[in-house]
Structure 1
Amino acid sequence: MMSGFSRLGALGLLTAGALLSATACSSGTTEVAPAADGKPEVVAAFYPLQWLTEQVGGSDVHVTGLTAPGVEPHDLELGLQQVSDLQDAALTVYVKGVQPAVDDAVDQGKSFDAATAVTTIPAGEHEGEGEHGQEEEHGHEEVGYDPHLWLDPSRMATVATELGERLAAADAAHAQGYKDRAARTAATLTGLDQEFGKGLGICTTRTLVTAHEAFGYLADRYKLKQVGITLDPETEPSPARLSEVAKLAKAERVTTIFTEALVSPKVAEVLANEVGARTAVLDPLESNPSGDYVSAMRDNLKTLQTALGCTA
């Protein structure tokens, strides 16, 4: 039987294929259909932004999600038609640093980078993490911050308010409707934020060991500590990183290693076995969940409460 270190070392040789197994073979885009009814065409780069845009835009706009369901947003590639559609849209809603292809294609005069509406946090760094770190692979070095801001409902509420203003400016005839829906959406998100604050107020442990570092904003908002096995879903964790995470998980008595739907659970499962923990799915909401944004976040809250031993 292999020692703990040997098992973790051998695991490093398996992770590249395992972590890449969720990558789609196609470009992962959806066609941006023309708005035949004359409504403004708004493109949302990936699911959480699509949900938010639909809430704020309502029936006054035609919203298209650029990333197909089940596709990692980071893997998105654009064809010539998608680039043309982005530039023709009345507004494109995106987060700079998530999808380099979108960053390069958007018309800056007709786009809304949600990261500009909130206070961002620095991107994570791991020494010796594969050949390419998260920043180089996905453009985070260029932006200098963690782009996963949608996992904090309070920041999403701020984005909703600003999105209402942007849509009102792009379609003055329906300006009040956009602002009213933005206010209602922000209120819903503020309520969700309060649920998280109460639900994660008193916990046995406050350490999250996650498949990749997507939950920095959630941790920042609710005073949790995120420890990512990798910086992003496609980075191969080194044996040294795996050993480091295992040691920390044991020291902090972590009971759960979190994985996610679009990433192979193999790494998390072996690590959980090594430290005597279980695994559970924590959804980074990078693709369409079974419900919607709010229900998926509430599912995350329940998962966190169980894993962290929280009492409301």
Structure 2
Amino acid sequence: MNVRPTSPRSARSARITTGAIAALAALGLLSLTACSSETDGKNSEGKLKVVASFYPLEFLAKEIGGDHVSVSALTKPGVEPHDLELTPKQTASLDEAGAVVYLKGLQPGVDKAIKQSSAKHVVDAASLTELEEHGDEVDGHQHGSEDKHAAEDEHEGHEHKHEGGDPHIWLDPVKYAEVAKGVAKALAEADPDHKADFEKNAEALAHKLDGLHKKFETGLKNRASDTFISTHAAFGYLAERYGLTEEAVNGLDPESEPSAARMKELHEVAEKHHVSTIFFETLADPKTAKTLASDLKLKTDVLDPLEGITDKSKGDDYFEVMESNLAALRKALGTK
């Protein structure tokens, strides 16, 4: 039998084919490794990937997680969070995350996406403290925290409450500290190796929040009025904590429109309680609040619900903006 010698071209082709197969195999191995790193909830640097639904929870995750986490927020700066619609990429990030922190009842789009995701470590901030009812809408009228129960008695059977209670827990430093400890526990479950650091950071944050609470407690004493008017009913917890009454132009939803009866009622509230200032906020349309202030010949100022930090925010983080809020309230309520 005659065996034909292999030509140089054939040998070279064989080497190329073998090299190509080896390269493809290497790429396959790399691909499997990449998939593995994407599904273990950590980034290429070994940091726990945390997805937070909006700024107050992003702030907690960063403060508590420190150098051990990589945090991304679903709500970008300047976007009003209540009506957020997620992109496919954002939805996919939930499945890749090592931990997800959100607040059920605030963002329906986020609630739906999380329910459909396969994220293993999910913490609902609303479950970490007790929710209450504020800013109820009764027969088309918005009522502040002080007269809520009277309104319910008067219109029994006609209440319309925000499902799950008022979600704005971060505006009460005491409740926010409770949430911080719960977030630390959730991060520790997702990344047990750094449990001690998460707990230490949460304790330090709780200490700072206690200091902020004491500043509000002391700073709001000896005031001329207890009542303030805001754009939407975000400050019910803060009002209740410090003995104030919030009267809101809109309800818990900042995009809702007040009725003519509500606007008339606010005129009466402003006169009766010697309100000096109508507060508006950075992310919601201030038109109605400014119109009310113009009609009543009152001043306007910013009371920030801290749903996001932008260039217009009076501070670069949670603590700076809250201290700005305290200064604005002190001025409006005539503290000495």
Identify whether the pair has TM-score above 0.5, normalized to the shorter chain.
yes
Partner of 2:278: 257
Aligned-pair Cα RMSD in Å: 1.9
Structure 2: how far apart are the matches of 1:142 and 1:216? 15
Unaligned 5+ residue runs, structure 1? Answer: 1-32, 131-138
**TM-score, reference length from structure 1:** 0.82
Structure 2: how far apart are the matches of 1:127 and 1:141? 11
CA apart distance, 1:91: 1.2
Map 1:115-264 to 2 at 5 A.
Answer: 115-127=126-138, 129=140, 141-143=162-164, 145-231=165-251, 232-264=253-285
Q: Deviations over 1:199-253 (max 9, x none)?
A: 0122110101001101111101111101001112211111111111111111111
Structure 2: how far apart are the matches of 1:297 and 1:140? 27
Q: Deviations over 1:91-150 (max 9, x none)?
A: 1111111101111112575211111111211142224549xxxxxxxx97432x000111
Residue 40 in structure 1 maps to residue 40 in structure 2: no
Residue type at the aligned position of 1:184: A
Residue type at the aligned position of 2:221: G
Q: Deviations over 1:275-310 (max 9, x none)?
A: 231111100001114410000000000000000011
Structure 2: how far apart are the matches of 1:171 and 1:128? 48
Q: Which runs of at least 4 in structure 1 moved beyond 4 Å after TM superposition?
A: none
Residue type at the aligned position of 1:110: H
Structure 2: how far apart are the matches of 1:265 and 1:101? 25
Residue 277 in structure 1 maps to residue 308 in structure 2: no
Aligned pair partner of 1:51 in 46, 52, 59: 59
**TM-score, reference length from structure 2:** 0.77
Q: Given that residues 215 and 226 in structure 1 are in contact (C-alpha distance below 8 angstroms), is that contact kept between their aligned partners in structure 2? A: yes
The higher radius of gyration belongs to 2
Q: Deviations over 1:46-89 (max 9, x none)?
A: 11111111000000011111111000001210122211211321
Residue 305 in structure 1 maps to residue 305 in structure 2: no
Q: Given that residues 44 and 92 in structure 1 are in contact (C-alpha distance below 8 angstroms), is that contact kept between their aligned partners in structure 2? A: yes
Residue type at the aligned position of 1:291: D
Q: Taking structure 1 as reference, are residues 154 and 214 closer, same or farther at Cα in structure 2, changes over 3 Å only?
A: same
Query: In percent, how many aligned pairs have the same letter?
Result: 42
CA apart distance, 1:90: 1.3
Q: Given that residues 207 and 224 in structure 1 are in contact (C-alpha distance below 8 angstroms), is that contact kept between their aligned partners in structure 2? A: yes
Q: Given that residues 208 and 226 in structure 1 are in contact (C-alpha distance below 8 angstroms), is that contact kept between their aligned partners in structure 2? A: yes
Q: Given that residues 73 and 99 in structure 1 are in contact (C-alpha distance below 8 angstroms), is that contact kept between their aligned partners in structure 2? A: yes
Number of residue-to-residue matches in the alignment:
270
Structure 1: how far apart are the matches of 2:51 and 2:210? 25
Partner of 2:318: 293
Residue type at the aligned position of 2:129: V
Q: Given that residues 128 and 238 in structure 1 are in contact (C-alpha distance below 8 angstroms), is that contact kept between their aligned partners in structure 2? A: no
Q: Taking structure 1 as reference, are residues 141 and 283 closer, same or farther at Cα in structure 2, changes over 3 Å only?
A: closer
